[in-house]
A and B are shown apart, each in its own frame.
Chain A
Amino acid sequence: MAHTSNQGRREHDARVDRQLANGVIGPDRGCAYHPCHHPSQDCSLCYCPYYPCQDPMLGEWVRSNRDGSPVWSCQPCHWIHRPDVASWILERARERGASNAEELRRSVPKAEVEAIFRRRATSIMVLGTTSGAGKSLMVAALCRILSDMNIRAIPFKSQNMSLNSCVTEDGDEISRIQELQARAARVSPMGCMNPILLKPMGDDRSQIVAEGRPLRDIDVATYYGEFTLGEGLDIVRRNLEIVRSLGDAVVIEGAGSPAEVNIYDRDISNMRVAAMADAPCVLVVNIEAGGAFAHVVGTLALLPEPDRQRVMGIIINNMRGDPECLSPGIERVEAMTGVPVLGVVPHVELNLPDEDSMGIAARSGDGPYVAVIRLPRISNFTDLDALAMEGASIHFVTSPEELEKADMIVIPGTKNTVADLAWLRITGLAEAIVSLRGRVPILGICGGYQMIGSRVEDPLGLEGTAGDHIGLGLLNAVTRFQKYGKRTVQVTGIHLSTGSPVRGYEIHMADTEIGGHEPLFLLGDGERRHPEGACSEDMVFGTYVHGCLDLPGFRRHLLSLCGKSPAGIAPPVPDEVMETSLDRLAAAVKEALDMERLLDIMGLRTCAG
């Protein structure tokens, strides 16, 4: 709408007046144009009191389709429709007695709102030479170090490929590692910290979770061919702006290697983000597998010049043994690349969740032998970390023979229940699991819960072929996939048979009827209290609650059903373990790195005092 005329101006302001009277209305999902700016938008100030602000950061002049006259388009504005901004403006307006558009503009000037909500944080980007270089934990460490210095740090990773996700308080699904980083920064995790989450479904396809919500499934060619530079780039830009307004320093994590020459021009997770945020970069390399110098030199040599200049330092990570022996290598690399090595970080043993889908390995303990079925599309396997803390020995198994020693079986979550159910049958695991019914406790979580039921109905083929699929029949439960959508919610409640508290989150696309079994948990409170999960007398347990083993009650109950009793020492609560781990990690990184130089690179030296 053009407000070049006085009449247009008056009409617009009249609408602003009505909005002022209505107050905060939240998102107007009934509106035909919703969401016209961004999915999480608040529509209370649909008609912007500051329109046309002509702020080049927020919009541009375009030509009207109707008559070619100039129109101020604020489509890219990421600001006025943020829930926190909209409600803040409306509250101030009420306090200050503004009852119409004109008074609002006078009593709550745009500049004042901006001073609070458009502060733009300084930033730094952590790149890696490969996946598993240790970027994620380096970001967590920097967040904790900055937080310890009273600098509000916000983690950000534009695109993450992971099957380990969790749900924020707002119901947004983000990668588990960004949640950990937020915890390290002592800020609440938010969808904007990981605006694109790719959950591999196998066979080149992934589910895109954008801004915390499932968007659609996509194949890799379309992702890089169409999505990244279009919709993807908008999502990243918008959310980067949001995180930059939330804190003092944004610590950005890259993805994989920034030097993938085949997708360089379509990569929206590395140098393009650095450029967008004008962030200096540090390059992390994991020395453990060897070839670290080659990885660093090769990565820097393959970056085009303007991007290469952003790389201000190198961090050698995961060093075992004496860092002194690296000196000749470090000197040569510094001489060849002109980029200083900021430090050599030692290998630190931590109790933190696994980084990504590749970090699966057997963990040992002397306690009960817990066989975790290593489904081809396994997800959320961090659920098992808590069992290891009780001294259980966790084994990821792929064949029936490996179940012989099992004191307990866990069927974890999966990105594709139907396909992995078929895999269970092909491998003979299905039969072996059923034969152990009643002899050892069997726990199915999420996808595993669906599999141990009697049937999985997928009339629309959301998991592949449409139709009904026969489950393992350990429970009578029936699971139904009905629509493309997802339940993502944090939950708390109690484990019914012990009365002990349970806490976790649910991420699933189907619903399950428990078919006459006793429920496992009672979740929620007051009127919203509801049963969840199922258990049978022959020690079969099913639930959608990821993290149900994090609190001790339920997991000890399960372990007590195993032949062997859990190790006698009372394990610490995972939250505390995580905090200690984060502190130890931050201390090790702080000790190893030239922090003064790093803060200088970030432009934070003055804040460091």
Chain B
Amino acid sequence: MLIGTSSGVGKSVLTAGMCRVLSDMGRQVAPFKAMNLSLNSHVCPDGSEIGRSQALQAFAARTEPEGAMNPFLIKPKGDGMCQLIKRGRPWMDVPFKNGEDWSAIAQETVETCYRELSIRFDDLVIEGMGSPVEINLRNGDLANMWTASMADSPVVLVGDIERGGVFAALYGTWLLMTPEDRERLIGFVINRFRGDPSILGSGVSEMERRMDIPCLGIMPRLELHLPGEDGLDLGATVIGRGCDELEHAWDADLNELASAMRRHLDLDRLIRAMGP
């Protein structure tokens, strides 16, 4: 499972890359994101509506996207209301803040979807949502450490260096996690690094020492043309329907991404942690 220090750190793309890496190894892979807050959705062959990034991740995994890969899609409608899409179908409109009322049912659905997928696939690559330590948001936790614990999954924490403050974001996230949740962390990744790595110097080892987990790698910033990640990226990239040409371009980008991940990340360690 990949979790991030905030939205927009590149979890979605790295999840897609991980799907491609594992698929290249001949594994049957599926992406999974318990809950997605996005207005960018995709309609699967079975008619279910899921987050666009999950559709892309399924494409990266060389499998058909389906509703179970994104059990909950939250689509803000304005006026403090949002539409809940449950397993690809519109379920109900709820006030934006109010997660408590339906989170019990949500847990059940997330777990069912996860179990079904885990029977049919060799590996599931799980993406978290936003930050896992939003003290005030309980349903945010559903998509993060609750899912990790339900799936008994090892967790990688991703930080984005592009906007600065990556060490603080990683360390602060770790500080706010419970000791049990920290136990699940197998390492951290610094994403979107640009320029001369010598500048990072002792920063990485200091973080390894403070958090007592290894840095699994530093991913360079890649110029990819994959569709925009999440709802917060409104108006970023406008994507046509998946015409052949576009999918061809995605394929090339995903291969580039996977090969960069093989070069820059300690994938052996990561895959070992995933178990058999």
Contact = CB atoms under 8 A, between A and B. Distances in A.
Nearest to B37: A290
Interface in B158-211: 162-176, 195-196, 198-204, 206-207
Contacts of A294: 5-6, 131, 133, 169, 172-173, 175-176
Interface string B125-159: 00000110111100010000000000000000000
B176 A364 contact: no
Contacts of B275: none
B163 A130 contact: yes
B167 A295 contact: no
B8 interface: yes
A328 B137 CA distance: 10
A299 interface: yes
B232 interface: yes
A407 B183 CA distance: 57
B135 A295 contact: no
Interface residues of B, number: 44
Contact of B165 (A129, A224, A288): A129
A48 B61 CA distance: 75
Interface in A299-325: 299, 301-302, 321-322, 325
Interface in A360-394: 361-362, 364
Contact of B172 (A260, A263, A297, A332): A297
A260 B204 CA distance: 10
A129 B168 contact: yes
Contacts of A358: 162-163
Contacts of B163: 130-132, 256, 358
A298 B171 contact: yes
Given A130-B169, A361-B235, A260 B202 contact: no
Nearest to B6: A291
Given A261-B203, A289-B232, A296 B7 contact: no
Interface in A125-163: 128-132
A257 B161 CA distance: 11
B80 interface: yes
A261 B167 contact: yes
Contacts of A289: 6-8, 130, 232
Contacts of B200: 262
A327 B172 contact: no
B232 to A, nearest CB: 6
B136 A326 contact: yes
Contacts of A459: none
Query: Which of B96, B133, B164 counts the most chain A CB atoms within 10 A?
Result: B164
A263 B199 CA distance: 7
B272 interface: no
Contact of A256 (B136, B165, B232): B165
Contacts of A332: 135
B136 A328 contact: yes
Contacts of B204: 262
A325 B196 contact: no
B8 A322 contact: no
Contacts of B241: none
B271 interface: no
Given A221-B199, A301-B175, A302-B167, A291 B131 contact: yes
Nearest to A296: B172
Nearest to B198: A221
B236 interface: yes
A220 interface: yes
A364 B235 CA distance: 9
Interface of B: 4-8, 80, 96-97, 130-131, 133-136, 140, 162-176, 195-196, 198-204, 206-207, 232, 235-236
11 contacts: A129-B169, A131-B163, A204-B195, A256-B163, A261-B203, A261-B206, A262-B202, A289-B6, A290-B131, A291-B173, A294-B176
Given A130-B163, A260-B203, 14 more contacts: A129-B165, A219-B196, A221-B198, A261-B167, A291-B133, A292-B131, A298-B168, A298-B169, A298-B172, A302-B167, A302-B168, A321-B80, A328-B135, A329-B136
